[in-house]
Amino acid sequence: MNTSCEIYRETTLGTALQGVLENYVNDGRINEEIHKKMLKAFDTRMEEALHNNGRFKANFHAQTLVTYRLSEDVWRLVLKNVTFSDQSHWFDSYIPPLDRLLVVAIDGRDATSHTRRRPRGHRE
């Protein structure tokens, strides 16, 4: 993967999209160029959506930190036996305890100015 926003391709939604696009390429419905453009659009839209709408705060508790890794300013944590909670208790009814959770964390600040970066293609 070339850019940090391509990590969204590893989500359930991103994996499903890649599978469908690969099937379309194999069936001759789209070419490789369209395949790449659609994945790039997915990366951009996911980054924008999380930047603009990702303000919901929650807490999680893990029984065990299985592994952790820092590579190219991206943290990856694998947690075991994870529960979520929030003040409104929304998570209690929608998200059951998880056996494993992969957390991918990227620094959202620009290294020189310590201000939040705007997603690519963001317009004021």
pTM to 2 decimals?
0.57
Q: Say if residue 32 is in the same domain as residue 66.
A: no
Domain identity same for 46 and 65: no
* 3-state SS, residue 103: strand
Q: Is residue 18 part of a domain?
A: yes
Whether 63 and 49 share a structural domain:
no
Helix (H) or strand (E) holding 88: none
Per residue in 92-119, pLDDT (tens digit) is 667 788 899 999 888 766 555 444 555 5
Q: Is residue 101 part of a domain?
A: yes
**What's the CA gap between 69 and 35, in Å, rounded?**
30
| Number of separate domains in the chain | 2
- Residue 74: CA atoms inside 13 Å, Cβ hemisphere, count? 14
| 3-state secondary structure string across 2-25 | CCHHHHHHHCHHHHHHHHHHHHHH
Give backbone dihedrals phi and psi of 31, rounded to 5 degrees, phi first.
Answer: -95, 175
When pLDDT is cut at 50, 70 and 90, the band that residue 1 belongs to is very low
| Residue 119 covered by a domain | no
Give residue 102's domain range: 59-106
Confidence of residue 77 (pLDDT cuts 50, 70, 90): very high
* 3 vs 117: CA distance, rounded Å: 14
pLDDT at 79: 96
**Between residues 123 and 19, the one the model is more confident about:** 19
pLDDT at 15: 92
- Say if 111 falls within a structural domain: no
CATH code: domain of residue 42: 1.10.287
What are residue 120's DSSP bridge partners? none
Average pLDDT of span 5-16: 85
Largest pairwise CA distance in the chain: 50
Region 77-104: mean pLDDT is 83
- Over the stretch 21-76, which tens digit does the pLDDT of each residue have? 999 999 999 999 999 999 999 999 988 887 787 666 778 899 999 999 998 888 99
- Cα separation, 108 vs 101, in Å, equals 21
pLDDT at position 121 over 60:
no
CATH number of the domain residue 79 falls in:
2.30.18.10
Asked whether residue 15 is assigned to any structural domain, the reply reads yes
